[in-house]
Amino acid sequence: MAVRFCQQCGQAMELRPVEGRQVPHCPACGFVAWSNPLVATMVVVETPGGIILGRRAIEPGYGLWCLPGGFVNEDEAPSDAAARECQEEILARVEILSLLDVYHIVRADGRGMVGIAYRATLAAADAPRPGSEMLEVGLFSPENLPELAFASHGRAIKDWSRAKE
């Protein structure tokens, strides 16, 4: 992502090699604009009837299906963020079981992300229902998935399915 002006002092940034990369650097105050990835979670919630997907009521990917999940806030542990997103998106409490894998994701807009995928089960007797960001929720087997909003979710589901065999 291009950083043109210093966020500390407003000076025009210049590119300078730092640790082998060209990095925007402020010639006035020395601020370096590192481009670190956004961190997001995705959760494979296992139920006897399949895994839970939601059909998105928001962009990107309006109308397509995805795993529950979303961006991690700075003051949250990733596994807490994963459980929170499940409560918001499928209105269900989940128990995080384990880390599935960590993925490097390059978004369509070129931005880099780190995706952390977890396995989970539904807690107690909660039945998933669509939160405000979902049109509907459904149960799917990994062999019979609907069209997904994000390639990374398809990859995580494939890896989850393979790990179960």
Query: Site residues (CB under 5 A) for Zn ion?
Result: 6, 8-9, 11, 26, 28-29, 31
Closest approach, Cβ 29 to Zn ion, in A, equals: 3
Cα separation, 80 vs 20, in Å, equals: 35
Tell me the backbone φ, ψ of residue 13, rounded to 5 degrees: -80, 155
The minimum distance between CB 7 and Zn ion, in angstroms, equals 8
* Interatomic CA distance for residues 116 and 119, integer angstroms: 10
Q: Give the span between the Cα atoms of 56 and 78, in whole angstroms.
A: 22
Please give the Cα distance from 39 to 80 (Å, whole number). 13
Q: How many C-beta atoms surround the C-beta of residue 120 within 10 A?
A: 24
Smallest distance, Zn ion to C-beta of residue 33, A: 10
Q: What is the nearest approach in angstroms of Zn ion to the Cβ of residue 23? A: 14
Closer residue to Zn ion, CB minimum distance, 29 or 135: 29
Nearer to Zn ion, 10 or 60 (CB): 10
- How far, in whole angstroms, is CA 148 from its chain's centroid? 14
- Judged by beta carbon, residue 12 or residue 127, the one nearer Zn ion is 12
Nearer to Zn ion, 10 or 49 (CB): 10
